[in-house]
Structure 1
Amino acid sequence: MPAKSKAQQKAAGAALAAKRGEIPKSELKGASKSMARSMTEKELDEMASTKRKGKPEHVTKY
């Protein structure tokens, strides 16, 4: 599942780093915190590795 925005890709990268133990989970906030709890390492890796070129900074929900 690729990221839909740059912000989502960054949050997935932070959650992945916490899941791998590279940063403490206590440093996570907001979306990255919930992503770390609800997604597997493989899902986070797929989302974090999405190319940022051409992606909007944020996507509004409808």
Structure 2
Amino acid sequence: MPAKSKAQQKAAGMALAAERGEIPRSDLKGASKAMEGSMTEKELEEFASTKHEGKPEHVAKR
């Protein structure tokens, strides 16, 4: 599943870094903290690796 916005992609990248131990989990906030707790490493990789060309910065909540 690709990221729908640049912000979502960045949050997934932060969560992935915490999952891999590259940054402390205590540095996570908001969406990245939620993603880290609810998604697998493979799902986070898919979100974080989405090309960001043409993506909006943010997508409105439903």
Q: Shorter-chain TM-score category?
A: over 0.9
TM-score by length of 1: 0.98
Is residue 59 from structure 1 mapped to residue 26 from structure 2 by the alignment? no
Instruction: State the Cα distance separating 1:50 from its structure 2 match.
Output: 0.1
The one-letter code sitting in structure 2 at the alignment partner of 1:32 is S
Structure 1: tracts of 5 or more residues without a match? none
4+ residue runs over 6 A deviation: none
**Equivalent in the alignment of 1:23:** 23
TM-score, scaled relative to structure 2: 0.98
Q: CA deviation at 1:61?
A: 1.8
Shift of 1:24: 0.3
- The number of equivalent residue pairs is 62
Structure 1, residues 1-59: CA drift from partner, whole Å, max 9, x if none? 10000000000000000000000000000000010000000000000000000000000
Q: Distance in 1 between matches of 2:56 and 2:18?
A: 25
Give unpaired runs (5+ residues) of structure 2: none
Cα RMSD (Å) of the superposition? 0.5
